[in-house]
Chains A and B, each alone.
Chain A
Amino acid sequence: MSAIDPEILQRALLREKKARKAAENILEEKSRELYSITQQLKEANEKLQSGLTEKTTELQGVFDNLVDAYVLMDLGGNVIKLNEAAKELFGYNVPKEAVNVVRLIYKEDFNYAMLSFNLLIETGSFSDYIARVYTKNKGVRWVHINASIIKNSKNKPIGAQGIVKDITDQRAIEEQNKKLVQDLEKSNEELAEYAHVVSHDLKSPLRSINALVNWLREDYKSILDAAGLENIRLIEQTLEKMEHLINGILNYSSVNNIAVLKHEAVDINSIIKEIENTIFIPKHIKIIKKQNLPIIKGDKTRLQQLFQNIISNAVNYIDKEIGIIKISFEDKSTHYLFEIKDNGIGIEKEYFDKIFKIFQSLGNNKNSTGIGLSIVKKIIEIYDGEIWLESEPKIGTSFFFTLKK
């Protein structure tokens, strides 16, 4: 073996040293990188962890504080979890006590419950299930349930959850309201019938008295003196007033009968014309329309009653040599505002409310029964309107009222 050149050895050693140094550097850099990645991972992990805790706490909060009962069950119907409201409603302390939802279903609602359960399995949810359940301490309760299926990460159904609302009281109130409305309808109907019967019974004797008095006058013409004839005339007048009153009550009680109300286009102009032909209007009183009056959707008979009552009041209470009844209206987007103005005796302010009450007649007018304006008010209320007046004693009165378009 020849001797090795020491210089060569020296160079090789140097190369080796350099290489090692470089390797060490790389290693150091890599481990630094690794450290920082580990650090980042750790941070991310911590963040995730805290996020999860947050969410879990949040869910727990929702679960606990939910006003409605929350029920979690497995697919076999075994209850896994109940929130406070659910424990309160059903009376079972899950998980200490085991309970299956089938046990809670009210006997008569069983088929309905099974149909809903199938729907839950097939479609993943059901809503607005309304039925009865048995509870441990509160007897049978009506509940409203919305439910959905819970799946695991592999999308496999593992259970179901439901929000249960106790609607027993609400239902009781609804039932009660329904019954009240029915009772009210019935008693209204009875009242209208009653008014017809009573008015018949009251009118019959009036007719009889009228006939008998008439015969007295006819048969005893020769013996009766002026005072006797005058008394007979007064009896007849009283009878007429009485009949007027009975008709008024009958009209008043039938206004309420909404079942017979028509809903048709009614031309107020032709209503006014008809009123002019129906009621007696003395020559010195004129009815003036300030403009062409509108067409209103409503019941013709009722609308005529409304205008006729106000106009005939105006006619009855005009004391001037020339009487003027002026009718006008304004278009108020949702309603029409009517004004019927007269130059009659006027009404004192203190009577403004009183005149709309039944049997409150102010004057001693023989045609006045005190029912007219209460009928007017009732009709206006049917058409979602209001009535009020402005008046100056001795000068005249303006009635204002609104009717829904």
Chain B
Amino acid sequence: MKPISFLLIEDDLIETLKFNRVLDTLKIKHSVNRVENGEEALEFLKNTDEVPDVILLDLNMPKMNGIEFLKILKDDAVLKYIPAIILSTSNNQKDILECYKIGIAGYLMKPLKYEDYSLKIKNLVAYWSCNEFIKM
């Protein structure tokens, strides 16, 4: 198991708190960069030296929505290799299909209960900790 660097694209403050709280309970310290929307995410990715290992993306965001961001990401010659995982409230089949079509590494439904959420995120982190990433 090794530390992962996440880019969390989430406009909701409490969702961000939830994610960080789950990560805080883990033995390994992962790094989380949080941006509030797609524009900020693109800005961040353009300027950072540290390309994240995994992108976690909320679908419903103000301004540029998740799917629009995903399209731009997957059109980029370099950034398209970063696995992107959707965190969404909606199990709208249309959205899910569209996301997999564009290219995602996972689609996670946010559950109502914090316990369930915590379990899902722990599993997700554990899974990606087992994976190798491209060094960019």
Q: List residues of chain A with CB under 8 Å of any chain B CB.
A: 196-197, 199-201, 203-204, 206-208, 210-212, 214-215, 236, 239-240, 243, 260
A101 to B130 alpha-carbon distance, docked (Å) = 85
* A197, A200, A201, A214: the one within 8 Å of B114 (CB): A214
- Contacting residues, chain A, for B115 (C-beta < 8 A): 214
When C-beta atoms are compared, the residue in chain B nearest to A236 turns out to be B113
User: Can you identify 12 A-B contacts, CB atoms within 8 angstroms?
Assistant: A199-B89, A200-B90, A203-B112, A204-B89, A207-B114, A208-B12, A211-B18, A214-B114, A214-B115, A215-B114, A236-B113, A239-B112
A206 to B111 alpha-carbon distance, docked (Å) = 10
- Contacting residues, chain B, for A208 (C-beta < 8 A): 12, 14-15
* B77 sits at the interface (CB 8 A): no
Q: List residues of chain B with CB under 8 Å of any chain A CB.
A: 12, 14-15, 17-18, 21, 60, 88-90, 92-93, 95, 110-115, 117
- Contacting residues, chain B, for A204 (C-beta < 8 A): 12, 15, 89
A196 to B93 alpha-carbon distance, docked (Å) = 11
- Contacting residues, chain B, for A207 (C-beta < 8 A): 14-15, 89, 110-112, 114, 117
A236 to B111 alpha-carbon distance, docked (Å) = 13
When C-beta atoms are compared, the residue in chain B nearest to A203 turns out to be B89
A214 to B110 alpha-carbon distance, docked (Å) = 16
9 tightest Cβ-Cβ pairs between the two chains A and B: A208-B14, A214-B114, A211-B114, A200-B89, A243-B112, A196-B92, A203-B89, A211-B18, A200-B60
A211 to B114 alpha-carbon distance, docked (Å) = 5
Given known A-B contacts A200-B60, A204-B12, A215-B21, A210 and B112 have beta carbons under 8 A apart: yes
Looking at chain A's contact residues, is the secondary structure mostly helix, strand, loop, or mixed? helix
Instruction: Tell whether, in the assembled complex, residue B113 and residue A210 are in contact, meaning their CB atoms are under 8 Å apart.
Output: yes
* A199, A206, A243: the one within 8 Å of B90 (CB): A199
- Contacting residues, chain A, for B17 (C-beta < 8 A): 211
Minimal beta-carbon separation of B9 from chain A (angstroms) = 15
- Contacting residues, chain A, for B110 (C-beta < 8 A): 203, 207
Instruction: Tell whether, in the assembled complex, residue A206 and residue B112 are in contact, meaning their CB atoms are under 8 Å apart.
Output: yes
A239 to B110 alpha-carbon distance, docked (Å) = 15
- Contacting residues, chain B, for A243 (C-beta < 8 A): 112
Minimal beta-carbon separation of A59 from chain B (angstroms) = 65
When C-beta atoms are compared, the residue in chain A nearest to B115 turns out to be A214
Minimal beta-carbon separation of A186 from chain B (angstroms) = 16
Instruction: Tell whether, in the assembled complex, residue B14 and residue A212 are in contact, meaning their CB atoms are under 8 Å apart.
Output: yes
Minimal beta-carbon separation of B120 from chain A (angstroms) = 12
- Contacting residues, chain B, for A201 (C-beta < 8 A): 60
- Contacting residues, chain B, for A199 (C-beta < 8 A): 89-90
Instruction: Tell whether, in the assembled complex, residue B114 and residue A210 are in contact, meaning their CB atoms are under 8 Å apart.
Output: yes
When C-beta atoms are compared, the residue in chain B nearest to A195 turns out to be B92
When C-beta atoms are compared, the residue in chain A nearest to B116 turns out to be A210
Instruction: Tell whether, in the assembled complex, residue B90 and residue A211 are in contact, meaning their CB atoms are under 8 Å apart.
Output: no
* B12, B88, B112, B114: the one within 8 Å of A240 (CB): B112
In the complex, which of the residues A196, A199, A212, A260 has the most CB atoms of chain B within 10 Å of its own CB atom?
A: A196
A309 to B15 alpha-carbon distance, docked (Å) = 33
Given known A-B contacts A208-B12, A211-B17, A196 and B112 have beta carbons under 8 A apart: no
In the complex, which of the residues B21, B60, B113 has the most CB atoms of chain A within 10 Å of its own CB atom?
A: B113
- Contacting residues, chain A, for B117 (C-beta < 8 A): 207, 211
A260 to B93 alpha-carbon distance, docked (Å) = 10
A201 to B12 alpha-carbon distance, docked (Å) = 11
Minimal beta-carbon separation of B85 from chain A (angstroms) = 18
A210 to B17 alpha-carbon distance, docked (Å) = 13
A208 to B11 alpha-carbon distance, docked (Å) = 13
A201 to B90 alpha-carbon distance, docked (Å) = 10
